[in-house]
Every structure is written in structure tokens, then in C-alpha cells.
Amino acid sequence: MTTATLRALERLKDHYGAGSAEAKLALLRRLERADLRSARAVWRLHEVLCFLRAYPDDARMLAQVEHMLARFAGRTDLRRAREALADTGIAGTAIHYPFFWSTVQWLARRWPERLAIDRSDPGFEDKLAAALPLLLTWAEAATLKLLDPPAFAALDRLRARGEGDAAFLARRIAAMPGDGFTREAFHDALEPSYELAPGPDTPARTRAKHAAAPAAFQREPLRRARPDLRGELGRRYRAVRTASLREGEQLIELARSAMVTRSRDLDAFAYGNARDVRLVDDGGGLAFVLIGAIPERRQLIPATCGYLILRNGVPIGYGEAFVIGRAATMTFNIFESFRGGEASHTVARTLAMVRHAFGAESFSFDQYQLGQGNDEAIASGAWWFYYKLGFRPLTADAHRLMRKELARMRADPAHRSSAATLRALAESHMLFDLDRARTPSLPPLAEPGLRIGAALARLAPGERERVLAQCSRDAMRLTGLRSLGGFSAGERLAWARWSPVVVFALPGVSRWSLAERRALARAIRAKGGRDEAEFLARYAAHPKLERALFGKR
């Protein structure tokens, strides 16, 4: 009986209209008191609840779902299936993952007593034995070399009483000399895996919601028809506002938790800037959290922005946008729980959001998003999903294969592209331009670095640091900048990174007018500012800069 009730709820969950709310509520109330007999059944109920929290019919439905999710970790059937449900992100269950350095720091700072090293990998113990002496005092390191204890035994002897092994390791790495990049490289080279034990406030999909989001109710059927992408790109979002510092921190935590509970990591969230968080209201319960990167983690040329997609305050997807000029390279992911919803509509609104927030008019998806090394994208047919929205492959080989597949489909409507064909198609980016008359293209972002590398190899054998220090002075002279007085730490970092670009990768810069060279200096400074919006505006207002960077005429 319980199994039939759960199946009925799954069939009905995304139906809206007369009588559907009452039918769903009746099923939910039965399942609230039911004892589900398998871990999979518990997971299925949880997925339905998450979906209905994002797409509730009305206030009664939302209240019922919130009530059941708030008590989900205490269900008898969940406690019985706790081990089988590990890594699902359900409240009350553990998460195991080889978290990257920034995420480990965050987890160790927030939940030091619940984060532990997974000791089941003997390969990690060998790496830890070699690394530990580098993290200790000279006397402790010498003692380890003399006694040669097992690495985990040494770790347990060194950490304070009540201090978790993961927290100890994270703190010792954080105290190493160098910068965030060297510490990150040191940690990630060890390849540790971790276990995050469940707690009342640890990351859990069950609790994931932006509490300040207004309630939105689903009164009409879900929008599953393929949207007119050009039409959607012309439609602006309803409102946008900058989050306060406190709210920005909370939203970054929400985004990071969404990754942790799905065994993922995203640099844009891991290195999010709480002073550069915006909330975009698209109407109808759909919203985006835009998260800019801290200055030291920004790309050299593109502006980087991570985004979390919210529906009724619930995270339903995420991605990144890398914007330069009028071009945006995108990633886009809808979480599994919500893939039966409005994926096509949501990606169209995501692109429209990026267009109006950053001025992009040309969009591309990279090969991983389409299926290169991504079995999930191959299984979902992601390539044809974007094709049907209007995206087309960049390379001639992918175009030829696309035409062959389309011919097969016309001859046999039942034909479906094989996994091998989808992988071959995914070898090329897919692009879309708002202007039909323009040929979509990708900026050759590697070109400036190649020019700088060639110049340093020619001019600075063994003397890179001296030449790079001179680059800063030469770039100041070229742009008419007398000093870096008044520059923030982020602005000074941007200047240091861009100086060799000015000197070695901008052909003809010395022949620019003084006004153009001063405008270049202001654009570079903006790259290290509070956010990257000013940089994008100054870059767009300086056409000579893009032409020089990428060899455009």
C-alpha cells in the first residue's frame, strides 16, 4: 500500500490545476506517517518533497512539505537506512568526498568536530607521512624522521585533545608560508578524502533554502515547451539588488552547501566575494544569485561570475559565466531533483539574465558541458538539448557530423545518436549569437599568454623576476601612471598581472593616444576592484584593447 502511495505521488507531483493540490496533500499526509521499507523509497520521498518545495501548488502544500522536511532526519525509516543513504545530501546522513582546499578550510572552520579524514586509502597515508614534517616545528619533524611512526598515529599524537584530524591538517597547511595558491596545490597534491558527519546545521539538501525568498505558487502547468531563445533574450528580469555583506555571506554558504551535498565543487562559490553578491528576481518564483570572485581568484581577462538558480528560494541549479566584451562562455546545470521541471525555460532565462546583467550577446557552451568527459551529459543528450535551443557547433567536423545525424533522423524518426556520436559532437564548442548576421566566434584567450611566454623566453633566461618587476614600471610609463598610491591590494594584484600584458602582448600600445593609454590603466585597475562590472564597462568602451589583445582588425 505504501509503495503504491509513493508511486502515485511521483506520478502526480508535477501536475497542477483543479484538484491536484488536494490529491497530493492526501498522499503526503499518508506518507508522513508511513514507515518506508527501503532506502530507495526514503530517497524517492525526499526527492518529491524537494521538488514540491520548489514548485508548491499553494500555501497549504508549502506548509505540509516544509513540515515534513523539517522532521525528515528524525524519521525511523531514514535512521534505519542511514548508511545506505550516505552521500545523498539528505539531512541525517554522512557525506564522503575529496573536497578541494577552499572547501576543506570552510568545513573545518564551520564544523571542525564533524569533518574527518577518510583513513581507508593507504595511498593517502603514504603521502601524509611525507608531508607531515613540512607542517611542523623543526624538532617535531626531526622526531618523526627518527621514530618513523605510521602517519595516522603521528597525526593523532600531534593534534590537540578534541581537535579533529581534518581540522588539524587544514590549520597546519593554512599556516604554511606562501600564498593561497601554493597551499591549495600542497593540499590537493595529497589527494585526501573526507567524511562530513551529519549535524543539525551541516549542509543538507533537506534544509537548503534562501529563507528571505518570497513564496511563489505554481498555479499553471509547468513550462515545458521549447522557448524562443531570441525572444527570451530580449526580455529583462524583473528586479536586481545588491545583497548586504551579511546576506552575501549567507548566500555564498547556501551555494557552497548546494555543491557539498552533491559531491561537487565550484571555484566561483569556493572563492566567492561576499561584497559582490546580487539577487536577480526573474518573476514567478525564479531567481538567480550572482556571486563574483575575490580579486586574487579572478581570470586575467574574462569577468567571472558564479550563479545559483533558485525556485521559491530552493537551489535548483547552478553554473558560471565567463564574460569578455559581448561574449559569454557558460556552464549550466539543473540538479537531478528538478530535471522534470522547466529546464529549457530556465536555461533561456539564465542566458537572458547574463545578457542584461553583463551585456553579453554571444553565448557558448564548452565541450565538458556538452559531454566531453561527462557521462551525465552524454546520457541526458545535452548536445541536442542545446541544438534545439538554437546553438550550433563551432568546428567544420562537428557541423558535418551534425548534418549526417539530422539526415538519419529525417530518414528514420526513431533514430537516436549513439554515445560515441555524442562524444564526437562534444569535441566542439556550441555557440549562439543574438544577431543572426554575425558569425559566432570565441576570443582566443590563450594568445596574450603565448606572446608573454615567448617574450620572457627571449629576454629573461633565468631573470624572469627582474624583467617582470621592470614590466610594472614600463607599463606605468606607457599609461602615464605616476604611482600605485591609492590602489587597493586587489588593484595592485591586477596591475602586477596585467603589466606583462601591456608590455609584451599589446602590439602598438605605445602608438595609442595618451587618452587611450590612460583608459587602459583605468580598466586594469578596475579588474581588481570590488566587482568586475566596471572592468567590463571600461573594456567595452576601449575597442583598441580587444583588437590588440586578440589580433582583431
Contact call for residues 299 and 260 (beta carbons, < 8 A): no
d(CA 389, CA 530): 35
Name every residue whose Cβ is closer than 8 Å to that of residue 86 and which is 6 or more positions away in sequence.
93, 94, 95, 96
Query: Which residue, among 356, 213, 218, has the nearest Cα to 284 in the 3D structure?
Result: 218
pLDDT at 71: 97
Q: CA 218 → CA 15, 57, 69, 283, 513, distances in Å?
A: 10, 5, 19, 12, 57
Look at strands 286-293 and 303-311 and give their pairing. antiparallel
Task: Provide the residue-wise pLDDT of the chain in tens; the chain has 553 residues.
Answer: 789 999 999 999 999 988 999 999 999 999 999 999 999 999 999 999 999 999 999 999 999 999 999 999 999 999 999 999 999 999 999 999 999 999 999 999 999 999 999 999 888 999 999 999 999 999 999 999 999 999 999 999 999 988 999 999 999 999 999 999 999 999 999 999 999 999 999 999 999 999 999 999 999 999 999 999 999 999 999 999 999 999 999 999 999 999 999 999 999 999 999 999 999 999 999 999 999 999 999 999 999 999 999 999 999 999 999 999 999 999 999 999 998 779 999 999 999 999 999 999 999 998 999 999 999 999 999 999 999 999 999 999 999 999 999 999 999 999 999 999 999 999 999 999 999 888 878 888 899 999 999 999 998 788 888 999 999 999 999 999 999 999 999 999 999 999 999 999 999 999 999 999 999 999 999 999 999 999 999 999 999 999 999 876 4
Query: Which residue, among 48, 54, 65, 530, has the nearest Cα to 258 in the 3D structure?
Result: 54
Q: Burial code of 61-73, b = ≥16 C-beta within 10 A, e = fewer?
A: bbebbeebbeebb
Query: Which residue, among 212, 220, 219, 264, has the nearest Cα to 243 in the 3D structure?
Result: 212
Contact call for residues 237 and 283 (beta carbons, < 8 A): yes
| 242 bridge partner residues | 278
pLDDT at 18: 87
pLDDT at 553: 46
Backbone torsions φ then ψ of 389, nearest 5 degrees: -80, -15
Q: What is the pTM of this model?
A: 0.95
